[in-house]
Structure formats: C-alpha cells, structure tokens
C-alpha cells in the first residue's frame, strides 16, 4: 500500500488499558493511588538518602538514582493513562514521539541501573576489603553516567527510526501510552528496519544487564556459602534479597513484552505485562528497599525523631 495515497496521521487516540467502561472508575482510583504512592515513595527515598549522612554510600547512591528513574518514567506514563479512564485520550504526533523517547530513555536506564546495583553488591560481599577503592565516588559517578548514556543512545536510535514511519492506516493506538509495537501496527510503510533495531537494542539492553546480574549473584551465592556462621549468611543474603525481587518483577514483564516480534505479541497481553514495569515496579521499589532495609528504617526513625524534637522545642 503506497503511503502517498493516504493522509498522514498527526494525532492519535490512546484506547487505554481497557475499553470496558464499567472498569474505568475503579481502575482510575486504583492507579491514581499507585501513582501517589510512587511519587511519595520515590521522593521520600531520594530525600531520606540525601539527608542521612550514614546513607551516603555507593549502595544508596545507586538506590537514589533508581528512585529518580522510577519517579520520572512513571510520570511519563501514568498521568496519560489516568486521562484515558475519564475521557477520550488524544495525543499529538510530537507529544507521542516525546513520550516514546523519554519512556525508552528511563526504562533502559533502569535496566542498566539494576545491573550496576548487582555489581555493587558483588564487590561489597566478594571483595569487602577493596570495596571503598573499587566503588569510589568517581567510579560510581561514571557508572551512573554510562547508564544514562546507554539510555540516551537507545532512546535516540528507536525514536529516530519511529520518525521515519508513515502513519496513515488509523489513528487509534491500542495501548495506554505511545509504545513501540502498538505504533508500528499503525504503519503503512515498511517497519523492517524498526523491528531489527528494536530487537537488537532489546536483546542488548535486557540480556547484557541480566548477564551482569546473574554473574554477580553466582559469585555472591558462592561467597555466601563459604560463610560458616548462619547469622553471617542471613545478613549477606538479606542485603541482596530486595534487589533480586525487584529484578525478577522488572525483567520478567519487560522480556515478555519486547523479546518477540510485533506480529507475535498480543496487545492485550502486552498491556497487562507493561502495567507491571511502568506503574507497579516504580511503586514497589521504594517499598521493597525500605521495608526490608534496616539502615533505611533507622534513618527514617532518626529524621522523624529530629522533626518531632524541633516541633516540641518550638512549642
């Protein structure tokens, strides 16, 4: 079908998570609550780490970066999804491409930030005597810069490829945000290059971090098994369990969505899968790392006690 025989689409309509109107109100309330918890949780984690001097370590530096990423890509996606529950959700072509760009940037940054956090735990448990040297401030800063650079390159490559696509079949996107595969389904031009680029970047940005994470945890488990005391093993495992849980939820849902050709992927299944890594994971991460982390609980308690002391003093 020739692209020249059709008018170009300049505006899209986002279908949303479901077309069943009776579910719109409860879903709106639920995801609004999820978004509020996400914003409060991640902002709270960033603030707590910034204010607590004993949390100024590489582990918590990376955790604050993860919270920033979660906050940003949740904000890129969730507000638009909430709109689709109450009214017809239209989005212009430039706005759609912008949402796609920032979504890819932050989601890929999260993939590699989780890998960096796994490497940090590997160094802390397997080479504790060299930890401060290996994970110096300069090294940590460069690791974060590299994470964002990979996200920038991936987002730029995928968005530039999407800009070459001609949309003239329809303007209804069967999704709640401008994601790659739902957009490609509306194309009336060749999408072969897009699919190759998406698959190549998906393989690298999922398998490379997973390889780093698996390699790190194989070494960590081997080191833990060499610890003689049960208490020592438990303490070492607890420092990793939160990260393992976050990684499992995030990579499981992301891999299901992107490690398959677009003609195989079901959009309904894709929407359910993408809910986990776009809305649920950003909410769960600060809860997982705070509720299961003794240092964070102590820091929060000290901040609250200090605030209450100041209030009582003023009174």
| Structure confidence at residue 1 (pLDDT) | 42
- pLDDT tens sequence across 33-42: 999 999 999 9
Global pTM value? 0.87
Amino acid 160: pLDDT? 95
- pLDDT value for 5: 46
Q: Are the beta carbons of 157 and 197 closer than 8 angstroms?
A: yes
pLDDT at 79: 92
Q: Give the strands of the sheet with 11-14, arranged side by side.
A: 89-92, 11-14, 172-173
What is the reported pLDDT for 106?
95
Q: Which two tokens stand for residue 52?
A: 């607590």
The average pLDDT across 284-296 equals 76
φ/ψ of residue 286, rounded to 5: -65, -30
pLDDT number for residue 270: 65
Q: What is the pLDDT of residue 255?
A: 65
Tokens in use for 66? 């993860």
Res 264: pLDDT = 45
Question: Which SS3 state, helix, strand or coil, does residue 207 take?
Answer: helix
Domains and CATH numbers, the chain: 3-113+139-210+228-314 (1.20.1070.10)
Question: Could you tell me if 89 and 137 are in contact, meaning their C-beta atoms sit under 8 angstroms apart?
Answer: no
Q: pLDDT per residue over 106-137, tens digit each?
A: 999 999 999 999 999 899 888 888 898 999 99
Query: Each residue of 159-203: pLDDT tens digit?
Result: 999 998 888 767 888 888 998 888 888 888 888 899 899 889 988
pLDDT score recorded for residue 4: 44
Contact 38, 72 (CB under 8 A): no
Lowest mean pLDDT among 67-81, 83-97, 258-272, 274-288: 258-272
pLDDT number for residue 173? 87
Tell the residue number behind the tokens 């993408």, with chain if given.
274
Query: Which of 243, 234, 238, 256 minimizes the C-alpha distance to 216?
Result: 243
The yes-or-no verdict on residue 260 having pLDDT over 60 is: no
pLDDT higher than threshold 90 for residue 22: no
The number of beta carbons lying within 10 Å of the beta carbon of residue 312 is 8
């Amino acid at each position: 079908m020739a692209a020249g025989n059709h008018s170009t689409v300049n505006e899209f309509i986002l279908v949303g998570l479901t077309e069943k109107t009776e579910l719109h109100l409860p879903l709106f309330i639920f995801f609004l609550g999820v978004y509020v918890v996400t914003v409060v949780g991640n902002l709270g984690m960033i603030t707590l780490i910034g204010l607590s001097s004993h949390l100024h370590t590489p582990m918590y530096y990376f955790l604050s970066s993860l919270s920033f990423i979660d906050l940003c890509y949740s904000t890129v996606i969730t507000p638009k999804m909430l709109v689709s529950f109450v009214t017809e959700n239209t989005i212009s072509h430039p706005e759609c491409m912008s949402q796609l760009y920032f979504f890819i940037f932050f989601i890929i940054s999260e993939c590699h930030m989780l890998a960096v956090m796994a490497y940090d735990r590997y160094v802390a448990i397997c080479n504790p005597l060299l930890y401060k040297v290996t994970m110096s401030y300069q090294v940590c800063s460069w690791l974060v810069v590299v994470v964002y650079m990979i996200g920038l390159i991936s987002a730029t490559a995928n968005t530039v490829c999407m800009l070459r696509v001609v949309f003239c079949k329809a303007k209804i996107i069967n999704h709640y945000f401008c994601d790659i595969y739902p957009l490609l389904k509306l194309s009336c031009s060749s999408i072969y290059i897009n699919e190759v680029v998406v698959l190549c970047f998906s393989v690298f940005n999922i398998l490379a971090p997973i390889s780093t994470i698996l390699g790190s945890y194989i070494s960590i488990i081997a080191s833990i098994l060499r610890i003689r005391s049960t208490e020592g093993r438990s303490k070492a495992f607890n420092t990793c369990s939160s990260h393992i849980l976050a990684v499992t939820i995030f990579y499981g849902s992301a891999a299901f969505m992107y490690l398959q050709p677009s003609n195989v992927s079901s959009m309904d299944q894709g929407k359910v899968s993408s809910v986990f890594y776009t809305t649920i994971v950003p909410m769960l991460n600060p809860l997982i790392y705070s509720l299961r982390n003794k240092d964070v609980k102590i820091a929060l308690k000290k901040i609250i006690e200090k605030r209450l002391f100041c209030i009582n003093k003023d009174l």
